[in-house]
Chains A and B, each alone.
Chain A
Amino acid sequence: MLGEFEYLLITAAASLGADAYGATVREVIAAATGRKCSIGALYTTIERLEEKGVLKTWMSEATPQRGGRAKRMIQVTPKGVLAAKEFYEAVSRISRGAKWAMSEVRANHD
């Protein structure tokens, strides 16, 4: 099963779609977690997920905003979608009955 950070990365990449690359994925993860995402953790996790076949990456053209440096584009593979779905379902299942999850559900109903 995926790890927590791996799930965050895959989900961020999936939500960004064609605009998913290192910097944007880092921004989305930071916005969701409230903490800056370390570039070391990001790139080592990208490499690990690519080896598992969960992500696909390639280098795109350079842009002037990036000082003429290329981007590493990220795409979630069907295997990645499945892995992320499994993680999400597992977290949802285990969270049923948890105090913090129940108070969230009640707040949504009200």
Chain B
Amino acid sequence: MTNVSWPLADFAARLLEPPEREAVLGDLMEAGETGWRALRDVFGLIILRHALIFRTFRPWLVGFGLALPASYLLTWVSFSVSSTFERIFGLAKVGVHWWPTGHEGLLLLSCHVLLLVVWSWIAGFLYASLSRRSLLFSVALCLAPFFFYDFRIGPLPKPCLLLFVLPMLLGIFHSLQSIRIAPASALLLALGMTGLMTFCWTNGALWILNWALLIPTWGLVAVSAISKRVKRDRLA
């Protein structure tokens, strides 16, 4: 029977950074370890690496301070957009709640959709920028309200609550691709979002708690300014 242990250890080691992967596998090979022992050692290192991340405050702050509350609000926004869409296009079934907003027409619905997409993108971008190593933890917390909270959405299908997920994942992807937002662009985006939210609010198309989503929006401005300063200091 072909020994699969070393190829498995090699595959598992892909979860490590490339230089560390080389050094670890080389050390195990030089020490004459069996493939199964090497696999066990590699997994041990991976688990230890991930466990150590949570000894700092950052993953907890990003997870419980940003990801969880933001996703709770974005889930409600997803529901609001879905229920308004159903009402406007005559797909509404009897008993669908319009709460928290749902009184708007097509223009305000479009604004709401744009807000949802941009809020979600910003949230995903920040999760990956602020705590890349605990990204899976942050994403799991984002989905927690969907699985564990009883959103009374009536006859609407439950997946409608996840409209924010795709733009959020896109934000994460862009951050992981090391796409950097210039401070001026982030500021422009934040001002635009604030203006759009004010417009929606004055037309009764914004839930009061949604103002909390301005925090990550302006947080992006701070993060981009800090990133630029750090990069400038490194080059100096």
Contacts and interface: CB of A to CB of B under 8 A. Distances in A.
B194 to A, nearest CB: 40
Closest 3 CB pairs of A and B: A69-B26, A66-B26, A72-B23
A39 interface: yes
Given A38-B41, A65-B29, 12 more contacts: A21-B23, A22-B27, A39-B42, A39-B44, A39-B45, A40-B41, A40-B45, A43-B24, A43-B45, A59-B23, A69-B22, A71-B26
B30 A70 contact: no
Contacts of A26: 27, 31
A24 B31 CA distance: 9
B19 interface: yes
Task: Select the residue from A59, A63, A67 with max chain B CB neighbours within 10 A.
Answer: A67
Interface of B: 19-20, 22-31, 41-42, 44-45, 47-49, 52
B48 A67 contact: no
B96 to A, nearest CB: 53
Nearest to B44: A40
B24 A70 contact: no
A27 B26 contact: no
Given A38-B41, A38-B44, A43 B29 contact: no
Contacts of B52: 44
A41 interface: yes
A44 B49 contact: yes
Contacts of A90: none
A23 interface: yes
Contacts of A23: 26-27, 30-31
17 contacts: A21-B23, A22-B27, A23-B30, A39-B41, A39-B42, A39-B45, A40-B49, A43-B24, A59-B19, A66-B26, A67-B26, A69-B23, A70-B19, A70-B22, A70-B23, A72-B19, A72-B23
